[in-house]
């Protein structure tokens, strides 16, 4: 893929796509990447974090995506990440590099059993959806009274859980 500065939205939802080429990072103006319900999708390129303009990333329903790669540099603009319905076993320890993340969807990620300590460094996180988890252990996220989120090591903006 050559550099395509003007492409803002790439919607590949519901396709038979198995992966993305490493050259995806040439889409330097890409703001919205939708891969939801790509049943055969199994991996992201390690270089996806180079999509510095990316704001919305939807991987909901990618039922074969077991690994989310490390985020080797900060992604300031990404504010919405939906991984709902994926068989992820863990989130990368570098999740804190998503410094602008406001929404994280992990609904029905049944294989996810714990969150990395770095999760609590997501200072911009406002909405955290995790319906359908029976095995997930969330350490110290709730107060004992009322189940309200606490300002846990940086989750100051969390307004909805």
pLDDT-derived band at 148 (thresholds 50, 70, 90) equals very low
Question: Residue 57 is encoded by which pair of tokens?
Answer: 């990333």
Report pLDDT for 159.
60
Indicate the SS3 state at residue 67: coil
| Residue 135: pLDDT band with limits 50, 70, 90 | confident
- Judged by average pLDDT, the poorest of 32-36, 50-54, 139-143 is 139-143
What's the CATH code, domain 1-161? 3.80.10.10
Q: So where are the chain's domains? A: 1-161
Residue 55 to residue 32: CA distance in whole angstroms = 6
Q: How far apart are alpha carbons 161 and 156 in whole angstroms?
A: 13
42: left (phi over 0), alpha (psi -120 to 50) or beta: alpha
Model pLDDT for residues 73-127, shown as the tens digit of each residue:
999 999 999 999 999 999 999 999 999 999 999 999 999 988 999 998 999 999 9
Confidence of residue 44 (pLDDT cuts 50, 70, 90): very high
């Amino acid at each position: 893929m050559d550099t395509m500065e003007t492409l803002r939205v790439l919607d590949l939802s519901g396709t038979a796509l198995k992966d993305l080429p490493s050259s995806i990072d040439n889409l330097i103006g890409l703001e919205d990447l939708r891969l939801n319900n790509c049943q055969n999708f199994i991996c992201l390129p390690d270089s996806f974090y180079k999509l510095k303009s990316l704001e919305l990333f939807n991987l909901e329903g990618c039922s074969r995506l077991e690994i989310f790669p490390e985020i080797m540099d900060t992604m300031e603009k990404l504010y919405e990440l939906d991984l709902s319905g994926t068989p992820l076993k863990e989130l990368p320890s570098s999740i804190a590099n998503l410094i602008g993340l406001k929404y994280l969807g992990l609904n029905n990620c049944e294989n996810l059993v714990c969150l990395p300590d770095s999760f609590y460094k997501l200072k911009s996180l406002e909405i955290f959806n995790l319906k359908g988890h029976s095995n997930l252990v969330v350490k110290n996220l709730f107060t004992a009274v009322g189940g309200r989120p606490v300002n846990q090591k940086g989750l100051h903006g969390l307004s909805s859980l």
